[in-house]
């Protein structure tokens, strides 16, 4: 039984550069994976049935990205196979770490291999985009500078730092951030080279800090020790360090209300690293 990783991601920066006619927002963001995440296992079936044998509390099958991804690939490829899927879930839901999108990507990548569908990375990314804007970067499998709604990907190699990643204990629905009248929506577009040489920030962070006191408290505490930012639209926050020991030293000092973990930023996704060993 192969353990297929479903890693978390961080948005090292996130800038909102415009609002589209379809209601979505144009953005510029830098995705990096971390060596921490959920794990999925797949047991092939020959009757075409797709089952998730470890249901996720509060998520019905018709809304579950794991089931939806498997059905989408089966329909697109015409595969006669089915699968039993199990997941060891450790990433917080609604935390801005891309857990659901990562789960969907792992299903598409793993089953494309196990079912021998033969779809290219580009084809899988197109399928993944119908499930969520963050799914393609997990399929793509390398740190990336993303534009558009997040689907236009350019390879990037930011420093692989250590992070203390913490959840403030609140769920932040993405529409809450993007519907806020005070959200900056006109940050000038810049080249990746310019952005990499400028201080990183997140246009969503002021809204999250204003509307959620728990986020404000968490960022304020972490900023005492290291550069710290919101990832995505939240709620998770990360502090960056040059060494693992420095990150763990701060985690040891954390107050009881802070729930976090230490992970390393990696530019090659653990999912693609495993896939390269399978083929």
Active-site positions read 9, 134
CA distance 195 to 226: 20
Eight-class DSSP state of 63: G
Cα separation, 124 vs 112, in Å, equals 8
Q: Which of 161, 165, 162 is nearest to 219 (CA)?
A: 165
Residues 6+ apart with CB under 8 A from 226: 164, 239, 240, 241, 246, 250
Q: How many CB atoms lie within 10 A of CB 249?
A: 14
Note whether 31 and 10 are within 8 A (CB).
yes
Decide: 172 and 271 in contact? Cβ < 8 Å. Answer: no
CA distance 26 to 29: 10
DSSP letters of 181-204? TTS---PPP--HHHHHTS---BTT
Query: 146 with 152: CB under 8 angstroms?
Result: yes
The total of other beta-carbon atoms located within 10 Å of residue 122's CB is: 10
**Tokens describing residue 261:** 């973990």
Compute the chain's Rg from CA coordinates.
19
Nearest Cα neighbor of 274 from 113, 137, 133 is 113
């Amino acid at each position: 039984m192969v353990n297929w990783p479903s890693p978390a991601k961080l948005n090292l920066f996130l800038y909102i550069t415009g609002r589209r006619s379809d209601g979505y927002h144009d953005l510029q963001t830098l995705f990096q994976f971390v060596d921490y995440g959920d794990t999925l296992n797949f047991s092939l079936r020959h009757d075409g049935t797709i089952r998730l044998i470890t249901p996720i509390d509060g998520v019905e099958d018709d809304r579950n990205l794991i089931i939806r991804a498997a059905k989408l690939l089966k329909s697109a490829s015409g595969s006669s196979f089915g699968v039993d899927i199990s997941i060891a879930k450790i990433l917080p839901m609604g935390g801005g770490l891309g857990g659901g999108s990562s789960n969907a990507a792992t299903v598409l990548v793993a089953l494309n291999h196990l079912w021998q569908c033969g779809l290219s990375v580009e084809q899988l990314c197109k399928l993944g985009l119908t499930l969520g804007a963050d799914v393609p970067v997990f399929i793509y499998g390398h740190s990336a500078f993303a534009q558009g709604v997040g689907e236009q990907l350019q390879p990037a190699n930011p420093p692989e730092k250590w992070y203390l990643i913490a959840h403030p204990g609140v769920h932040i629905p993405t529409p809450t951030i993007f519907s806020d009248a005070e959200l900056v929506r006109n940050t000038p577009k810049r080249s990746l080279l310019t952005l990499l040489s400028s201080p990183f920030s997140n246009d969503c962070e002021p809204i999250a800090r204003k509307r959620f006191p728990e986020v404000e408290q968490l960022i304020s505490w972490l900023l005492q020790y290291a550069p710290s930012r919101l990832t995505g639209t939240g709620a998770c926050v990360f502090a960056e360090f040059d060494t693992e020991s420095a990150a763990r030293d701060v985690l040891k000092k954390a107050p009881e209300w802070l729930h976090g973990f230490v992970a390393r930023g990696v530019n090659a996704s653990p999912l693609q690293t495993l896939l390269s060993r399978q083929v």
